[in-house]
Amino acid sequence: MKKSNVVLIIVLATAGVLCVAGMIALFGYFAVKGVSSRPATDAEKELVVDAATLIEYGAEADAKCGEYKMTRNLDATTMISYECDSESLYVLSSAEINPTPRDARQSFVLEIGAYKAGVALGGSDATLHRRDELLGGLGDDRYAAIIQSGGKNAGNILIVRQGRILHSVMITGLYFDDAEPIRELMTPVVEAGKKQR
């Protein structure tokens, strides 16, 4: 084989490896960041729980705290998210709109596992105490837990699947241990999802 052919093969092989590595990096970026994102519309904001709503229940936070975002993902899901991180309150709320109810059921199971793993690996003494009855009969599937830290109630994790939409809320700095306010909090977002989708 001529020396020029060997060089050409090495160059083409290197280019191929770099191209594959670039495609993997690009796929990873889009998997994490989504294909596209923009600020959420007013209608999309109705699908999540925000700090302004929690102030009605005693949260100490600025009603304007937080940021809404809509992201389209590679797996054909759309995610509307809201996050508020203040000194006295943390809220992470999302509505994941899946292509099918089956996809939403799978996301429901994965979401519960992710929260459990996050608390377990968080490096604190936080624990989750499952209390699904706090959500009553809301949604097709439901998961509720009280977050405890240092033996005291510190927040909640609430997950409701209705059809192909998965509503998820994590709150710290405020907690609910009674079903009535939790249903008051979650029913409007679930109903908004039914109307919009």
Q: What DSSP state is assigned to residue 137?
A: T
Is the Cβ–Cβ distance between 163 and 104 less than 8 Å? yes
Residue 116: both structure tokens together? 């459990």
pLDDT score of 30: 47
Domain residue spans in the chain? 1-33, 34-196
Residue 190 sits at the vertex; the CA angle it makes with 152 and 172, to the nearest 5 degrees, is 20
Residue 114: both structure tokens together? 């992710």
SS (H, E, C) 32-84: HHCCEEECCCHHHHCCCCCHHHHHCCCCCCCCCCCEEEEEECCCCCEEEEEEE
Q: What DSSP state is assigned to residue 147?
A: E
Residue 18: both structure tokens together? 């770099």
Low-confidence ranges of the chain (pLDDT < 70): 1-35, 123, 197
For residues 161, 191, 167, 99, the Cα torsion angle rounded to the nearest 10 degrees is 60
Query: Identity (one letter) of the amino acid at 144?
Result: A
Q: What DSSP state is assigned to residue 189?
A: H
Of the options 3.40.50, 3.40.720, 3.30.70, 3.40.1000, the CATH number for the domain spanning 34-196: 3.40.1000
pLDDT score of 9: 53
Give φ, ψ of 141 to 5 degrees: -135, 150
pLDDT score of 1: 56
Nearest to 187 by CA among 2, 42, 53: 53
Q: Maximum CA pair distance of the chain? A: 80
